[in-house]
Structure formats: structure tokens, C-alpha cells
A and B are shown apart, each in its own frame.
Chain A
Amino acid sequence: MTTTVYVPRDSAALAVGAEAVAAAIGREAARRQADLRIVRNGSRGLFWLEPMIEVASPGNRVAFGPVHAEDVPGLFEAGFLEGGRHPLSLGPTEDIPFLKRQDRRVFARVGIIDPLDLDDYLAKGGFQGLKRASTLSQNEIVQEVERSGLRGRGGAAFPTGLKWKAALEAPGAQKYVVCNADEGDSGTFADRLLLEGDPFLVIEGMIIAALAVGASRGYVYVRAEYPRAAAILAQAVARAEMGKILGNEILGIGKPFHIEVRRGAGAYVCGEETALLESIEGRRGLVRAKPPVPAIAGLFGMPTVVNNVLTLASVPTIFSQAADLQGRSRWTAAYQLAGNVKHGGLVERAFGLSLRELVEDFGGGTESGRPIGAVQLGGPLGTYLPPSMLGVSLDDEALASVGGMLGHGGVVVFDDAIDMARQARGAMEFCALESCGKCAPCRIGSIRGLEILDDLLARRDPPRQLELLRDLCETMARASLCALGARTPAAVLSAIDGFPGAFQTGDRLGGAP
């Protein structure tokens, strides 16, 4: 009997040697004449265990990890294909506590299927949502999305149904659907994991969006730093075209929809939707003033739906699942545990987890073994929280009360060796480096902010510098055109307010409680 062995081909697994592991398994199997087939799946998102391989057994899959090429002969020796134990055995994959305590919905197929196997996708419920949506009118599709309570998962949490409604109602000879896969926040990788692990889901979400608003062309803008995600997605698009799911007639319903995969070029600001549209049009990624919003006048001036990868991937279940899952409570958050953490990876959970549960129960604390020094939520523009605030619940309201927001869900853990003054300066420097230059508060404010922070750190009249800095941050937060200039102050001020001593005594952590 042929045994199936899963060896992930996700970037995270490849980065730590999965390709060599797959080759070693192939070699060893040939040498021993073992009857096996290797499937290259996505990653389950348990990164400290990568490369994590799985063996299919009746009723479940058992995992081994982290596996290196030199471990492979020993695994065969231990009979890992027939349920034999080995020091790297992790037991049934689904029983690994990190995974067992999650609510994998958007990521339900990631790490399980071969991401480019259209039949596998169909067999696991793929295109059910699209099939139902294609029987509905445009208005009905939009209404169902509105009723579902789905909000944008790129960071701004704007109601998706409202956006689609505006694009549907806006007049325009040509409409577009754009998938924002410019996941630039440090500490985030959910979009990448999904694009590499279940690309057809994103395509399905885009087709439903296209049906809803009447778009015949779509773009996916993937950052240059994600070459593997772009390549897998491009292959998935080609296969969907071959399968007559995309192209001149989507699913045989007589409407065309074409998807083009575009590569970014290293500009963080292009994750902002209007800068992204400029970039697709072939220009510098300068942020546009809003209004008009892209739903009214977006790509090439036409009505355009711009949604994040996870948002579009959340759409198909709205149409394939029972109505009892309606409302806000059906939605999960995709937390991404990163930085100096023992068990880093993806945690998809219904809302309501506390930061402590996430960082300590799931994450297992710092990898260095030192005490936690700070946690940054929501990327480089996110708030730094001191360890005393780990009890905060990870929902929008609770986070807002401590000046934070979840954004795209990145959670970066630092140990107590972190220098908060340097982090504050780094946040301002990041803004200066990545500013598109369109608006003065961001372009000039970030440079001026750096100068003030340097004066502050050199102890040149600190009270005056702090007053100036707060005034500048207020201006940037209120007057910048986009979140880059508007949210940088949150990162800077949270470092100053949460870790005050770091700016007075030279104590790196500032005696944070």
C-alpha cells in the first residue's frame, strides 16, 4: 500500500531545509524500496517545528519535527511510515496543543492540501461558495456579505459589504477587483501562509467579489519579498484558467474574469490601497487623497474593490456555510506570533483571547528564556506594550483602551534586552525611510521627529524635546494622508509612555513594570 508523506513547500519550511528533507526521503525510500508518495503541502504554521513532515495513517496524520535531512535514515529505521516512534514524533497533528486550541476556519485547508491540486481543493469544499454565489443577483451577494459582518482584515477593519456596495453602485464601464497582498508589516505572515498554502481560496473570493460588483479584471499585488507566494499564485491562476474557472467564462456562467499577478518592488507604502493602485498603473507609489475612495474611482479611475488577502479568503464561507453562523461572532482573528518567542506561528482563534494567553500559553514565552521586555502589536506602526499590560484582551475595544490596535494581527515579542529608546527612534526612522513624500506631516514630520528624538536621547533639554515631540506626533497623527504618517506616532509615544525611564536614565527598559 502506498503511504503518503507530506513535506511542506511553504517558504517557512523551505527556509529551514524542507527541500533537502524531501530529497532525502525520496532517496531513502528508493534505497529501501518503500512504497510512498510525497505531497508538498503548505505549512500548518507551527514554525518552531518546521520542517514538520506528516505521515498519513488511517483516520489522521501523524507529525514529526523539526526534521532535518540527516534525521531521515533514522526515521525509516524507526518505521515512521508504519506508526513507529521516533524522538521527533509529535503524535497526531491535530492533537498538538498549539493547533488543537485553535479555530482554523480561513486557514482550514492550509497545510493540509497540496495547494496547487485543484481536485484536492474541490474535494475539500472548494468552490462551493462560488457555486452558490453564482446563483444570486449582484445585490443579493452584496447583502449577504453585509449581513455576515465581515470586516477588512488588512488592518483598517472597514466593513467589506459597504465597500462592495459602493463599487456595485458606482457607474463605470470597467470595474476591477484588486487583492492587496503587500503584507509589509514586520511580524506578519498570514497572507503569505495563505497564498502559499491555499491560493484557490483567494481566487474564489476574488471571483465572488467580481460577480458582486461586475468586474471583469482583477489584480493581485504581491510584494517582491514574497517570490514564492507570487509564483504559487500565478500557477494557481493558470490552473484555474485551464479548469475553466477563470477566464472568458467563469464556471460556465458566461461572464469573464481575468486575474493578473503583479509583483511589488520593496516599497512598504504600497500596502496602502491608493499607493498600491498607483503602483499597478506604473507610477511611484504615492498615496492619493481620499475622497474619492477606490470603490468610486480606483484603478485607472474606475470603480475598484481593494481587499486584503484574508478578507477575500473569508468570503467563500459566507456563501457555503449555514446561516446560523451569521454575525460578528463567526469571525476569527489570525494572530501571528513572531520575534523572540519559543513557539512562533499562526494562531487563528475566535476573538477574546488575552495577550498573555497568546504569548505565554501558545507562544511559551521568549525563545531566549529571558523575561518578556515588550510586545509590539500590529506591525512597525503598532503599539509597544510593557509586560504589565499582557492581561489585555485582544479585541478591538479593549486594545483601543490601551491605545493599541490589532491591525493585521502581528504580535512581536521582545525579551528584556530590548532598548526602547532605540525602538522609538527606529519607528520614526522607518517612517522617514518609507514615506512616499506626498504629504508634509509624514515627509517632513518624520525627519523632524528623528532630530527631536536624537536631541532627547542626547539629553538636550528633555522636557522641551518631549513637548515638541508630542506636538509633532499630534500633527502627524491628525494630518497625514495615510496610516504610515498617522500611526507612527502611536509606536513612538507608546515606547515613551510605556517605558518612561528608557528616555531619562539610560536604563534600556526604563524600569518597565
Chain B
Amino acid sequence: MNDEASRVDSFEVARGILQRLDAAPSSLLPALHGIQDSLGSVPPEVLPLIAAGLNLSLAEVHGVVGFYPWFRREPAGRHTVRLCRSDACRARGADALAEHVERSLGCREHETSADGFASLEPMQCLGLCALGPAMMIDDEVHGRMTPEHFDRMMAELRRAP
């Protein structure tokens, strides 16, 4: 898809989501979640549309997107790997796992692998604190993660259509 087409597409998605929500400032987080769920990120070009739709200034929308770590402005890889970096998982070997994951994907935290396969995001606590190290791959949670298990899962994802 070329840039122009993807821009039109993200406008369509944002418009559809805004239509389903109250046209009020309190709909901002649900709107951003809806857009990121559909597009994988919140592209900067839709921010004016959100601002107009929810009766907010562009600065307010921009400020909110920047405040919350969950929202990403750059396009995500085809998959998102979110690694728990909090103390309970670190007590169970999350640091060593994080090093392995970075090596395995060939990118650092907050980055996307060069082939666009996966984005790597650090996160705080999945509530699996006795089953660490824990991570979230796309929408699925995984505990007792080992480097071998991680590599197996990535290989499966690469094979999947």
C-alpha cells in the first residue's frame, strides 16, 4: 500500500471509531485505544481528526498520546513483544531473558526489528509475578519464559501466514 492509500485508510478507521463514541473529551482514551487496536499505532495524521471530533485542541490530544506509554506513534512491526521489566520478574531472570530477546530479534527495547517482524516494548507488570519472566506477544500472555521457548514461539510466528 502506498503512503497516500494508507493515510486515507487511517482516516477511515479513525472516523469510524469516533462515530461510535460520545463526541466528548472523555472519549479520548477509548478513541486512541480503538485506533491503535485497528492500525497498530496512533498515526500523527489522525490527531487533528480526533481533536475536532472530541472538541479538544490538537495540543491536548498530542499531550495525551505522549503521556501514556501504551500508545505508539510509529508504525508497529507485524507482532508486538512486550517484556515485563518489573522487580518480581527480574527476581526470576527477566534481565537475562531481555538480553536474549534483543539479540534474537536484532533490536533494542522501543525498537522494531529491521525486517518489520516485531516491535519490542518494555512494560511494567502483567500480574503474573509468580510465573515470571512474563511477556505478552500480541494479545497473548506467556509465563515461565525461557530463551528456548521464546525462540520456538518466534519461529512459529514466522512460519504462520
In the complex, what distance in Å separates the CA atom of A236 from the CA atom of B67? 30
Tell me how far the C-beta of A294 lies from the nearest C-beta in chain B, rounded to whole angstroms: 16
Q: Given the known A-B contacts A228-B141, A281-B26, are A50 and B127 also in contact in the complex, defined by CB atoms under 8 Å?
A: no
Contact with A along B115-134 (1 / 0, CB 8 A): 00000000111111111101
Q: Given the known A-B contacts A225-B123, A268-B124, are A15 and B69 also in contact in the complex, defined by CB atoms under 8 Å?
A: no
Which residue of the partner chain B has the closest CB to A228?
A: B141
Q: Quick check: is A367 within 8 A (CB to CB) of the other chain?
A: yes
- For residues 10 through 55 of chain B, which have their beta carbon under 8 Å from a beta carbon of chain A? 24-30, 32-33, 54
Choose from A228, A282, A339 the contact partner of B129 (Cβ within 8 Å). Answer: A339
In the complex, what distance in Å separates the CA atom of A226 from the CA atom of B131? 15
The answer to whether A265 and B69 touch across the interface, beta carbons within 8 angstroms, is: yes
Tell me how far the C-beta of B136 lies from the nearest C-beta in chain A, rounded to whole angstroms: 8
Contact with B along A187-214 (1 / 0, CB 8 A): 1110111000000000000000000000
The answer to whether B130 and A337 touch across the interface, beta carbons within 8 angstroms, is: yes
- For residues 276 through 315 of chain A, which have their beta carbon under 8 Å from a beta carbon of chain B? 279-285, 300
Q: In this complex, which of B32, B126, B142 has the most chain A Cβ atoms within 10 angstroms of its Cβ?
A: B126
In the complex, what distance in Å separates the CA atom of A108 from the CA atom of B109? 40
Q: Quick check: is A418 within 8 A (CB to CB) of the other chain?
A: yes
Name the B residues within 8 Å of A229 (CB-CB): 127
Q: Quick check: is A414 within 8 A (CB to CB) of the other chain?
A: yes
The answer to whether B130 and A338 touch across the interface, beta carbons within 8 angstroms, is: yes
The answer to whether B87 and A426 touch across the interface, beta carbons within 8 angstroms, is: yes
Q: Given the known A-B contacts A15-B134, A16-B143, are A265 and B91 also in contact in the complex, defined by CB atoms under 8 Å?
A: no
The answer to whether A265 and B33 touch across the interface, beta carbons within 8 angstroms, is: yes
Tell me how far the C-beta of B33 lies from the nearest C-beta in chain A, rounded to whole angstroms: 6
The answer to whether B86 and A186 touch across the interface, beta carbons within 8 angstroms, is: yes
20 contacts between A and B (CB under 8 A): A11-B127, A11-B128, A15-B128, A15-B141, A224-B33, A224-B70, A225-B126, A225-B127, A263-B29, A265-B32, A265-B33, A265-B68, A267-B67, A282-B29, A285-B68, A339-B92, A340-B92, A341-B130, A380-B87, A423-B87
In the complex, what distance in Å separates the CA atom of A243 from the CA atom of B34? 28
Choose from B24, B69, B91, B124 the contact partner of A339 (Cβ within 8 Å). Answer: B91
Which residue of the partner chain B has the closest CB to A193?
A: B127
Q: Identify the stretch in B1-9, B56-64, B99-107 within 8 Å (CB) of chain A at 4 or more residues.
A: B56-64
In the complex, what distance in Å separates the CA atom of A412 from the CA atom of B90? 10
Q: Quick check: is B139 within 8 A (CB to CB) of the other chain?
A: yes
- Chain B interface size range: 35 or more
Q: Quick check: is B88 within 8 A (CB to CB) of the other chain?
A: yes
Tell me how far the C-beta of B138 lies from the nearest C-beta in chain A, rounded to whole angstroms: 10
Further 17 A-B residue pairs, CB within 8 A, beyond A186-B87, A227-B139, A281-B26: A11-B128, A15-B128, A189-B128, A225-B126, A225-B136, A226-B126, A229-B127, A262-B30, A263-B30, A265-B70, A266-B123, A266-B124, A285-B67, A300-B26, A338-B130, A344-B129, A413-B91
Binding site for A on B (CB under 8 A): 24-30, 32-33, 54, 56, 60, 63-64, 67-71, 86-89, 91-92, 123-132, 134, 136, 139-144
The answer to whether A225 and B131 touch across the interface, beta carbons within 8 angstroms, is: no
The answer to whether B125 and A225 touch across the interface, beta carbons within 8 angstroms, is: yes
**A side interface size, CB within 8 A:** 59
In the complex, what distance in Å separates the CA atom of A189 from the CA atom of B143? 14
Q: Quick check: is A389 within 8 A (CB to CB) of the other chain?
A: no
Choose from B71, B130, B132 the contact partner of A48 (Cβ within 8 Å). Answer: B130
Name the B residues within 8 Å of A268 (CB-CB): 124
The 7 tightest CB contacts between A and B, nearest first, are: A344-B130, A338-B129, A186-B86, A265-B68, A282-B28, A15-B143, A266-B70
Q: Given the known A-B contacts A267-B68, A285-B67, are A225 and B143 also in contact in the complex, defined by CB atoms under 8 Å?
A: no
Which residue of the partner chain A has the closest CB to B67?
A: A284
Tell me how far the C-beta of B29 lies from the nearest C-beta in chain A, rounded to whole angstroms: 6
In the complex, what distance in Å separates the CA atom of A172 from the CA atom of B134? 44
Q: Quick check: is A488 within 8 A (CB to CB) of the other chain?
A: no
Name the B residues within 8 Å of A367 (CB-CB): 92
The answer to whether A266 and B68 touch across the interface, beta carbons within 8 angstroms, is: yes
Tell me how far the C-beta of A182 lies from the nearest C-beta in chain B, rounded to whole angstroms: 11
Tell me how far the C-beta of B42 lies from the nearest C-beta in chain A, rounded to whole angstroms: 11
Tell me how far the C-beta of A219 lies from the nearest C-beta in chain B, rounded to whole angstroms: 10
Name the B residues within 8 Å of A282 (CB-CB): 24-29, 54, 56, 64
Name the A residues within 8 Å of B144 (CB-CB): 15-16
In the complex, what distance in Å separates the CA atom of A376 from the CA atom of B88? 9
Choose from A183, A185, A265, A418 the contact partner of B71 (Cβ within 8 Å). Answer: A265
Name the B residues within 8 Å of A300 (CB-CB): 26
In the complex, what distance in Å separates the CA atom of A50 from the CA atom of B89? 17
